[in-house]
Structure 1
Amino acid sequence: MSAERRLRIRAATEEDLPHIVALDAEAFPADPYPYFVLRQLLASFPDFVLVVEDGGNLGGYVLSTPPNASRSWILSLGIAPDLRGQGLGRQLMTQILGRLGTEGVHSVSLSVEPGNDSAVALYRSLGFVPDPGGPRKDYFGPGAHRLLMTLSL
């Protein structure tokens, strides 16, 4: 990453919504969240949607659920394809995990496409452990297998 880059992680705002929707479609072209889902998640969990600004543009986002019985889920981590491999995902995850920890969360879960080796490696490096049963077949519907991973805080 260039020393001249001005990266800033902050809570998402209503004004960020169109950019988050576009970023999500770019990061997950085969299965992006519908606009209305991202709108409702942002409205429901405003303190748990973080974005990273890269020179005034959004370079990534992370979306989690608020604590529920000391548990939370990471629902999505999206990084613009041209910015991947530069540590933005790690920075966003570190920020949201810190926030969840201060909110009393003791366990964070997520699901990831089993063949997404870079995402699985990132989550493992942060301390997430795959569920013992391996990938769950058809977790998100026919052919949409997912590896469930959990982190104890």
Structure 2
Amino acid sequence: MNPLADDRFRKAGTSRSFTAAARTRAGLRTVEEHELPDLAGLDMEIFAGDAYPYFVLRQLFDVHGDRLKVVDDGSELCGYVLVATRQGGNRSWILGLGTRKRCRGLGYGRRLMAEAVRMCAADGVHEVRLTVDPANTAAVQLYESFGFARDHHRDDYFGPGESRLIMTLTLARPTPDRQPP
């Protein structure tokens, strides 16, 4: 399906050319500290009851701020990804990835995931993991398109009734002749 040809992916009253232009000018960058309230609002819109409390986002920014990337279309934050690497650098977790409803279907989630995988590969990480609501088929399909495999299902992962699918991507280890991009 071409998302530009489907009205569900266009802001009300906008044209296809506006949507294409917005996608073209949207920038992928590291979030800035003064944007944390906007990021918290974005996280709440995306994940509702599963959103990070502001104080947790604040601490994640302090610890992993260089791994907290956003897509900004010039008017607001449209999506974000947060990557955390375990001590020793062997395994990374994608702790959050999502896009604002009005920004879905524009490839922002794919751009964010590509950046997350690129960062992990550049850091020499061997394994990337994430959790996803098993009912979120669009997200599961996105992750599978990047090579993530369904590792296992965990009932009550985030508490009673909050099951998650654990997915894993194995990255090639860099050799002395071949460095990550």
Fold shared per TM-score above 0.5: yes
1:130 aligns with one of 150, 174, 178: 150
The match for 2:100 is 80
Percent identity over paired residues: 48
- 1:15-66 per-position Cα deviation (integer Å, ceiling 9, x unaligned): 1101110000000112211000000000111111000001231000001103
Equivalent runs, 1:81-120 vs 2, <5 Å: 81-120=101-140
Q: Is the 8 A contact 1:63 1:75 kept in 2?
A: yes
CA distance in 2, matches of 1:138, 1:3: 40
- The number of equivalent residue pairs is 151
- 1:95-152 per-position Cα deviation (integer Å, ceiling 9, x unaligned): 1210111111111000000000100000000100001x4x211111111000000001
Q: Does 1:3 align with 2:23?
A: no
RMSD between superposed Cα atoms in Å: 1.2
1:63 aligns with one of 61, 64, 82: 82
CA distance in 1, matches of 2:69, 2:85: 13
- 1:68-111 per-position Cα deviation (integer Å, ceiling 9, x unaligned): 33110000002101111221011001012101111111110000
Structure 1 length as normaliser, TM-score?
A: 0.94
Q: Give how far 1:67 is off.
A: 4.8
- Amino acid in structure 1 at the alignment position of 2:144: R
Higher helix share: 2
Looking at CA atoms only, which structure, 1 or 2, has the larger radius of gyration?
A: 2
The match for 2:38 is 19
CA distance in 1, matches of 2:87, 2:134: 26
Q: Give unmatched runs, 5+ long, in structure 1.
A: none
Structure 2 length as normaliser, TM-score?
A: 0.80
Moved more, 105-114 or 78-87: 78-87
Give structure 1 regions of 4+ aligned residues with deviation exceeding 4 angstroms: none
Q: Give unmatched runs, 5+ long, in structure 2.
A: 5-18, 172-181
